[in-house]
């Protein structure tokens, strides 16, 4: 199974300094590994990157919401247990033969801010 983390040789994740006061963050996870994080308000950017990665890899990429304090300690390529209570799956993006990309959103807060 391919991993975007292996392909890009990412080494660290940086949450933008403009969002230091944000309480939540978003994380993209592919095959149990962290790919990237975003400030909690950046739904569209996180979902756009998940779409690109899912199409490129032909695999599911999930978008999780988590406390910023947890996200600050993450590194790209780090294996994570998304079963922890702090991790809430917001959306899954998967390749689809008919649609190209299929986006499944589970959070009403997210659907009011973005269009799949």
pLDDT band with cut points at 50, 70 and 90 for residue 108: low
Answer yes or no: are the C-beta atoms of 14 and 41 closer than 8 Å. Answer: no
For 82, the domain range is 4-15+23-108
Residue 114 within any structural domain of the chain: no
pLDDT (tens digit per residue) in 62-76: 999 999 888 888 888
Instruction: Note the pLDDT of residue 87.
Output: 93
Domain count, the chain: 1
Indicate if the pLDDT at residue 3 is higher than 60.
Answer: no
Asked whether residue 115 is domain-assigned, the answer is no
Q: Is residue 46 part of a domain?
A: yes
Q: Which burial class, exposed, middle or buried, applies to 81 when counting CB atoms under 10 A from its CB (0-12, 13-18, 19+)?
A: exposed
What is the reported pTM?
Answer: 0.75
């Amino acid at each position: 199974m391919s991993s975007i983390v292996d392909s890009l040789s990412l080494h660290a994740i940086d949450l933008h300094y403009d969002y230091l006061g944000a309480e939540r963050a978003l994380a993209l996870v592919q095959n149990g590994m962290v790919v990237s994080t975003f400030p909690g308000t950046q739904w569209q950017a996180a979902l756009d990157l998940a779409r690109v990665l899912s199409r490129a890899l032909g695999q599911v990429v999930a978008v999780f919401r988590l406390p910023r304090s947890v996200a600050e300690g993450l590194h790209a390529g780090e294996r994570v247990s998304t079963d922890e209570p702090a991790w809430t799956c917001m959306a899954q993006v998967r390749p689809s033969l008919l649609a190209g990309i299929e986006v499944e959103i589970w959070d009403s807060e997210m659907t009011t801010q973005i269009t799949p």
